[in-house]
Amino acid sequence: MAAGPDMTEGGEVVMRQMTVGDIDGVLEIEKVSFAAPWTRGMFEETLSSPVGISFVAEENGRIIGYLIFYRAAREIHVMNIAVDKNRRGLGLASWMMSRVMDLGRRNSMETCFLEVRESNMPARSLYEKLGFRQIGRRKGYYRETGEDAIVMELTLTDQT
């Protein structure tokens, strides 16, 4: 996929499909990014799913971010996105999400959905900036904390 902006290390950032060989690098970011991180098996399952699509952002051979979504009919469901702690706030997640939205539009996808923890203000702010709007709330969705999930939607056909 496309190369992105310089993310301060002086290397070109490339977005490409995730492979099993990337999982170690992905897990390093996953474990420090989430209260209930995905396991290796969950990443492997997604990579072997016919509806799972997974990308990594790579700089100088190092994974610095990833984004996983599922497609169902004309819908995209964002399942996981994270950026290396040392690369946050530089536009990487926005860039990855925008690429996926463009890919969806080119493949006639109509809507993108995601769930986000109510307290995750960086992520909510990212999604709002990309045009997502809140369409619902799942009470106590996150079992470890009992926190609500905010359900957000972006209509891809509005953005052409």
Shortest Å distance, C-beta 9 to ligand COA: 14
The 10 Å Cβ neighbour count of residue 9 is: 13
Residue 119 vs 157, nearer CB to ligand COA: 119
The region, left, alpha or beta by phi > 0 then psi within -120 to 50, assigned to residue 89 is left
Q: Which of 77, 120, 131, 147 binds ligand COA (CB under 6 A)?
A: 120
Q: Which of 47, 79, 90, 151 binds ligand COA (CB under 6 A)?
A: 90
Q: What are phi and psi of 81, to 5 degrees?
A: -150, 135
Does residue 137 interact with ligand COA by CB under 6 A?
Answer: no
Q: Which of 11, 27, 33, 110 binds ligand COA (CB under 6 A)?
A: 33
Q: Is 115 a catalytic residue?
A: yes
Options 70, 75, 110, 115, the catalytic residue: 115
Up-side HSE of residue 137: CA atoms within 13 Å toward CB?
A: 7
Residues belonging to the active site: 115, 127
